[in-house]
Amino acid sequence: MNVNTEDEEHDIQYEQQAANCEVTFDDTSKIIENEDFTSMAANDLGLVLKHQKSEMGSFALQFPRHPDRRAECMDTYEGRFLTGLEPFLRSRKTPLSTFEFVMRGTNQQSILLKVLPYLNPEYLNRIEITTTKNTEKEPSPILKMNEIVELDQWKKAKELYISMLKLDVPLENFYHFSKAEFEIQSVSAKELTELKERILKDKKFEDFKIEYHQLKDKKKLLKFFGRPFEGSTSAKRIWYHKFPIQKKKALYIAWREKEKVFKFYSISMQNVPDNAF
């Protein structure tokens, strides 16, 4: 566990030794008898966060992968650790303020819900969720999001990065982000058109990358989006749109049908080809 401030950096290690826990703080070690290392780590971090008053730049948690465990099993390192940490976060008088929340190593909504609801939605700007796979060809596991997308923390965040996880929720749950990258089970022509229209009204929009598995209503999409830019190919269709409220910016949309990827970028008008509109 790393605890960093502007002036100090501390590395605390917890290791299970039979029934005991060895704690190493900087260069000093101590054996705690009859203690589980995950419970010790959760208790120590919980005490720190319970009394944390200042705003944090980042709160990041990373857990090892357990391919042989049942997906819903909480008897994993992350399950035991977060079960111990959650009461400390819940007992705070005010939500924990962090600009960024990062969770690596899980594909379980239940794990994320042990932390995310206790963060200050007025301060949380960026959410990152990733897991690991044995190979690049291994299918991305599904991350259920039905409860997460109802949280204020989700609805008020502006940046999102989700990697190696497939999301099975409607695209409308992502419209409010100004910067996002994720993989989704399915998208429709209607959703993509709504996203485009919302982006054109967003002064702070930066970029979107959407990987999908199923596109509904391809013919409708081509009708709604209109004729692609002349420099497009069948492998990569491109559209340009003017931002009504930003004279120096344009929206660039690229669709790679074979790779099943949509990209939306805010670009300078200087980078827009002639006759693009």
Domain's final residue, options 115, 144, 169: 169
Q: Is residue 11 part of a domain?
A: no
Q: Is residue 209 part of a domain?
A: yes
Are residues 80 and 131 part of one domain?
Answer: yes
Angle CA 83–86–89, to nearest 5: 165
pLDDT digits (tens, 9 = 90+) for 107-141: 899 999 999 999 999 999 999 999 876 566 778 88
In the chain, pLDDT over 90 holds for what percent of residues? Answer: 65
Domain extent at residue 246: 182-277
Structure tokens at 274: 């002639």
Domain's final residue, options 146, 169, 192: 169
Supply the pTM of this predicted model: 0.89
pLDDT digits (tens, 9 = 90+) for 150-190: 999 999 999 999 999 999 999 999 999 999 999 999 999 99
Are residues 163 and 71 part of one domain?
Answer: yes
Are residues 151 and 57 part of one domain?
Answer: yes
Structure tokens at 20: 């005991």
pLDDT of residue 71: 46
Are residues 165 and 51 part of one domain?
Answer: yes
Residue 67 has pLDDT above 60, yes or no: no
Cα→Cα distances 129→34, 154, 157, 186, 270, Å = 33, 12, 13, 19, 35
Q: Is residue 26 part of a domain?
A: no
Are residues 195 and 155 part of one domain?
Answer: no
Residue 41 has pLDDT above 60, yes or no: yes
pLDDT, mean of residues 244-265: 94
Are residues 80 and 111 part of one domain?
Answer: yes
Between CA 180 and CA 106 the distance in angstroms is: 19
Are residues 230 and 135 part of one domain?
Answer: no
pLDDT of residue 135: 62
User: pLDDT band at residue 74, thresholds of 50, 70 and 90?
Assistant: very low
Q: Is residue 175 part of a domain?
A: no
Are residues 42 and 117 part of one domain?
Answer: yes
User: Dmax over Cα atoms in the chain, in whole Å?
Assistant: 74
Residue 79 has pLDDT above 60, yes or no: yes
Q: Is residue 191 part of a domain?
A: yes
Are residues 201 and 121 part of one domain?
Answer: no
Domain's final residue, options 169, 202, 232: 169
Are residues 218 and 98 part of one domain?
Answer: no
pLDDT of residue 7: 66
Residue 16 has pLDDT above 90, yes or no: no
Q: Is residue 19 part of a domain?
A: no
Number of structural domains found in the chain: 2
Place of tokens 């700007």: 125
Q: Is residue 163 part of a domain?
A: yes
Range in 37-51, 192-206, 243-257, 262-276 the model is least confident about: 37-51
Are residues 203 and 128 part of one domain?
Answer: no
Are residues 208 and 141 part of one domain?
Answer: no
Residue 263 has pLDDT above 90, yes or no: yes
Q: Is residue 29 part of a domain?
A: no
